[in-house]
Amino acid sequence: MFFECQGRRVAVNTATRTGLEAEIRARFKAGQGFALATVNLDHLVKMAGSADFLSAYQAQDLVVADGRPIVWLSHLARRPVELMPGSDMVLPLCRLAVEAKVPVVLAGSTDEALQDAEEALTDAVPGLEVAWTHAPSGCFDPEGEEADQILHRLDETGPCLCFLALGAPKQEQFAQRGRKLAPAAGFASVGAGLDFLGGHQKRAPAWVRAIAMEWLWRALSSPSRMVPRYAKCLAILPGQIRTAWRIRVQ
């Protein structure tokens, strides 16, 4: 399944959770790094207005579907993909890291949130090693000096799994650089996933997510932030539906 932005394609190249876990397990075994991104409509909106973000996405090794509209569009195109939100992938990825004896690094959010996330992760995943954590100071620049320092430390750490909670597009752009400067590290862009684990942000209840109403829950919880975002997402849907239909009839 692919989507079009600025005349360029963004492919969801990993369709199933089984396939994702097999690929990451193989990369851990081979000592190879990777960059994992989770595409949703908000990311497509941002990519439509940012060539740099689009390039960062095209540089990701693994792209999965984060958001039911992405999944619905894939079914319309007859190229079905599974729903794999970044927040839901943190624990499974940690289990793969334990299996491969690979340490984990947490980067992003705040010191307090990372400390609580580390505690939650080590409680939930026996044997997990959190090598270190880093909460950016001030306004993080994925091209800046602080980013360089983090990447240098990751390179010194060697094979590891680095969860990025920097928000889009910063986390994907940071991962793009990381593939060159810390090639043995696996980067997983998980947005608010660490904040959810540490209890610093509240996620929609499981039953709300099960009936595909998480978007409404978020809109009601934070209308000033989410309503404009969802309006922009709705605006690009017709074009993405046309693309999905074109794929279907090819």
Q: Do 155 and 1 meet the contact criterion of CB atoms below 8 Å apart?
A: no
Distance CA 213, CA 196 (A): 18
Residue type, 116: D
Band of the pLDDT at 4, cuts 50, 70, 90? very high
The tens digit of pLDDT for each residue in 43-70 reads 999 999 999 999 999 999 999 999 999 9
Nearest residue to 53 (alpha-carbon basis) of 174, 190, 180, 218: 174
Domain boundaries, the chain: 2-249
Nearest residue to 19 (alpha-carbon basis) of 76, 75, 68, 89: 89
The verdict on whether omega for the bond into residue 159 sits within 30 degrees of 0, i.e. cis, is no
The tens digit of pLDDT for each residue in 186-205 reads 999 999 999 999 999 888 89
Q: What is the mean pLDDT of residues 31-53?
A: 98
Band of the pLDDT at 215, cuts 50, 70, 90? confident
Band of the pLDDT at 162, cuts 50, 70, 90? very high
What is the DSSP secondary-structure string of the chain? -EEEETTEEEE-----HHHHHHHHHHHHHHT--EEEEEE-HHHHHHHHH-HHHHHHHHT-SEEEE-SHHHHHHHHHTT----B--HHHHHHHHHHHHHHHT--EEEEES-HHHHHHHHHHHHHHSTT--EEEEEPPPSS--TTSHHHHHHHHHHHHH-SEEEEEES-TTHHHHHHHHHHHHSTTEEEEE-TTHHHHHHTSSPPPPHHHHHTT-HHHHHHHHSHHHHHHHHHHHHHHHHHHHHHHHHHHH-
